[in-house]
Amino acid sequence: MASSVQDPGAKSTFRRYREGDATWRSWREAIFQAGQSHKCPTYVQRTPPCQGSCPSGEDIRGWLDIVRGLDTPSAGQAWQEYAFRRLTRANPFPAVMGRVCPAPCEKGCNRNERDDHVGINAVEQFIGDTALAAGYRFDPPVDETGKKVAVVGGGPAGLSCAYQLRRLGHRPTIIEEKPELGGMLRYGVPRYRVPAAVLDGEVRRILEMGVEVRANCRVGRDLGLDELARDYDAVFWGIGTRLGRKLPIPGADAPNCVDGIEFLRAFNAGLLSAVPKRIIVIGGGDTSIDVTTVARKLAGQDPGAPGKPLTYTADMVTAQAAFGGARVALTTIFPLENIQASPREVADARSLNVDLHGGVMPVRILLDGDGNARGVRYAPCRVEKNQPVRIDGGAEFEVDGDLVIFAVGQKGDLTGLEALNNGRDAISADALFEVPGHPGHFVGGDIVTPHLLTSAIGHGSIAAEGIDAYLAGAQPAKRPKVDKHQFDLLRALHHAGLELTDYAHDAVRGTCDAGFAVHNFDDRAEREIIKSSDLFLGHYAPEPRIERKERRLAEVFAVGGERIETLLAEQAVAEAKRCMSCGLCVECDNCVVYCPQKAVKKVPKAQHAIGRYVFTDYSRCIGCHVCHDVCPTGYIEMGLGE
């Protein structure tokens, strides 16, 4: 508990009672000054940093509170389903993203300041897998608008947008060039990370809402822009970036220099019957490590889908090369300690004896007498503004290789869609993800700017709200500063069977038990993220994180199966209880127990809901700040009207 230390010999700055005082007097007039006070508690909701760091905008604190048992479901509903429905307001892929998301939420978790972050991904995977096993389905929309929207691209951005549009009552049709939906979730993530049944189940759940699909159809070739304008009321572009990039260095056009996307496409098509024994991968991000973990000769059947050819995707290639006896080198312009790839991916590469070279830039592809690449010449470099700068006087060196793979970025294929090209093989978007100069056209995902799968899901969700406003002929609302799915106190009251009464518009001051509002509650979640310095971290005992069981890649390649195991129910509950519920009442009773004036009290049980647990009796409050000091979640703010 925070405290102030004062020199015993110093004169007190404030005395509640003076010598000779024998009667109680109200402190209300001393506390309230022109409608403001720095003495009395206000109950302030703020956004926790996990949510602030989540590109999908999930209400992470909300569904963790459900798993831990703080927020309970209605009668007849399992807590697992209640958590699933809270989570999927933002993200319809909990089972997939619980496995593959790099979890920026965990990096932002305030518990890192106490011991270790909450295993958010692990609990999310549990919720997603439980939902698939139980057969939970999305509710159909309550009202139908009759509006038709073309969703071009069936990857995470397009599927997210279609899902949110259908929830709003519109009729989306996904138009996909490939035979199956999923985009990078299907063609860029290996089955040992996400089993086909998991992805298929989460995609199927979206389609069962009434989302139509036109597969094997490419807009710009099989379907023109004029037809889209004629047949649909709005369009969402989620076409991703399907073309890889090469570096503009001498020799990069050699026949055995390929970009990562081209290499994987050839591998998937069965055009590579053997993998060279010496492979060089140029990159440094997750995709380059993925490509670095895949390249031995693979053939046979996918153990998860008998009779179906294996799909060789980005995070299968070089590790399998190394595992199969090939020598694989990964080079990056970044120092190895600052490599952009996630630590887990780098650990995988190291475990498979991949040669890692950091802080080097390729300057030339070395060619043999037939014009084929035989290696790469490098020079030491440093990185300035994300670009390599050669270090003067640094000695060049060579790495031998029979195949050079560039994993340095991707670009969109806008053939037939030149009107949308912003000149950088991408589509521009405004703050609401509408395409400038093209009313009714919205966009999201990597075709705007390549980033995470969770970012594409967030783009699709925001664009769906913009499309909804466009179809209604309304001006889209300005997005909040903290643009996430937030705790809603009115929804919590409704869930608890409590409704606010009509407001008589009379001036009310001090302690109030009127039913038109929650006493002294202030919602700042859309503009403020709570910091660890605002918490009472001493309340939380150190507790080790419950780790998911995870096998090394070498074992996965040897015996097959999935890499990460799902938590058991009791493990998921225990891990969720490590959440500190930053910025919202965790119902710990500290403020009630430690208040010296008994001014902080629990609301009657019949009026209780999440976020409505305590209130202050201002006829007793003396502004001592003890409740603020012992509040672990930072929910109590001293001062009124601020």
For the beta carbon of residue 398, count every other beta carbon within 10 angstroms: 12
Task: Give the helix, strand, coil percentages of the chain, each rounded to 5.
Answer: 30, 15, 55
Sequence-ordered list of residues with C-beta below 8 angstroms from that of 392, at least 6 positions apart, any chain = none
User: Which 3 state secondary structure label does DSSP give 377?
Assistant: strand
Position 266 scores a pLDDT of 59
Any idea what the Cα angle at residue 508 is, between residues 505 and 514, rounded to 5°?
80
Are 148-242+412-471 and 244-409 the same fold in CATH?
Answer: yes
CA dist 315 to 80, 101, 285, 455, 638, Å?
A: 31, 14, 11, 19, 51
User: Which 3 state secondary structure label does DSSP give 216?
Assistant: coil
Q: Indicate the CATH number of 148-242+412-471 among 1.10.3720.10, 3.90.1300.10, 3.50.50.60, 2.40.50.140.
A: 3.50.50.60
Sequence-ordered list of residues with C-beta below 8 angstroms from that of 557, at least 6 positions apart, any chain = 319, 320, 323
d(CA 511, CA 40): 11
Position 26 scores a pLDDT of 59
CATH code, residues 244-409: 3.50.50.60
Cut 0.75: pTM above it = yes
First to last CA, the chain: 24
d(CA 354, CA 296): 13
Task: Find where tokens 């298929």 sit.
Answer: 200
Across the chain, which has 642 residues, the per-10-residue mean pLDDT values are: 40 52 60 55 94 97 97 95 98 96 94 96 98 96 96 98 98 96 84 89 98 96 93 97 89 88 61 70 73 43 30 42 68 88 76 87 95 96 92 93 87 93 95 95 95 95 97 92 94 90 76 76 94 93 92 77 92 98 96 93 92 89 88 88 40
Please, is 137 exposed, middle or buried when counting C-beta atoms within 10 Å of its C-beta (0-12, 13-18, 19+)? Answer: exposed
Region of 366 please: left (phi>0), alpha (psi -120 to 50) or beta.
beta
> So where are the chain's domains?
1-6+21-46+488-524+583-642, 50-137+541-573, 148-242+412-471, 244-409
| Bridge partners for 564 per DSSP | 550
d(CA 199, CA 190): 11
d(CA 495, CA 61): 17
User: Which 3 state secondary structure label does DSSP give 129?
Assistant: helix
Angle, helices 120-134 vs 60-67, to 10°: value is 70
d(CA 468, CA 462): 10
